[in-house]
Amino acid sequence: MRGYQSPFFGFRFFVSKPSLWWIPLMGMAIAYGLLMFVFVMVAYSLWPGSGESPLEYSGDALKALGLGALVALGVWVVVTPLLFTLCFEKMLKRMHLMKGDVIERISLLKSLQSSLYIFFKTLGWRLFWVV
């Protein structure tokens, strides 16, 4: 194992090269923007009308917020691992090329198949991590 493949040395290399930062940061910004968009759109579409009593309105508003949070959590569990796979794969390729390694070109389809395999194998942990 080379030094930069160790987690601590790899992290130090990553921190010392700001040109590697923009891909993961953009991926995180897109992912969290998507989460906020999904939450707001679900809550907005389920938001109660104005012709109800204050108690019913409060209950329906809380239900809309709760369902928006639940759908956003589902998007977080399903979409963000795939998005982060794409972002971090590109970053790791650049990292190895900067170090002078020769990397084997793998098709995007093969990479996503591998990620989906791991995703489905760990889906139970992702969904029931609170229990």
- Candidate ranges 1-5, 58-62, 119-123; pick with highest mean pLDDT: 58-62
Band (104; pLDDT cuts 50, 70, 90): confident
Q: pTM of this prediction?
A: 0.70
Specify whether the CB–CB gap between 25 and 16 falls below 8 A: no
Give the number of other CB atoms < 10 A from CB of residue 83: 14
Q: Is the pLDDT score of 51 beyond 70?
A: yes
Phi, psi dihedrals of residue 21, rounded to the nearest 5°: -75, -30
What would the pLDDT profile of 24-44 be if each residue is shown by its tens digit? 888 889 999 999 999 999 999
Mean pLDDT score, 59-74? 94
Task: State the alpha helices, DSSP H only, in the chain.
Answer: 7-16, 22-46, 54-98, 108-121, 123-127
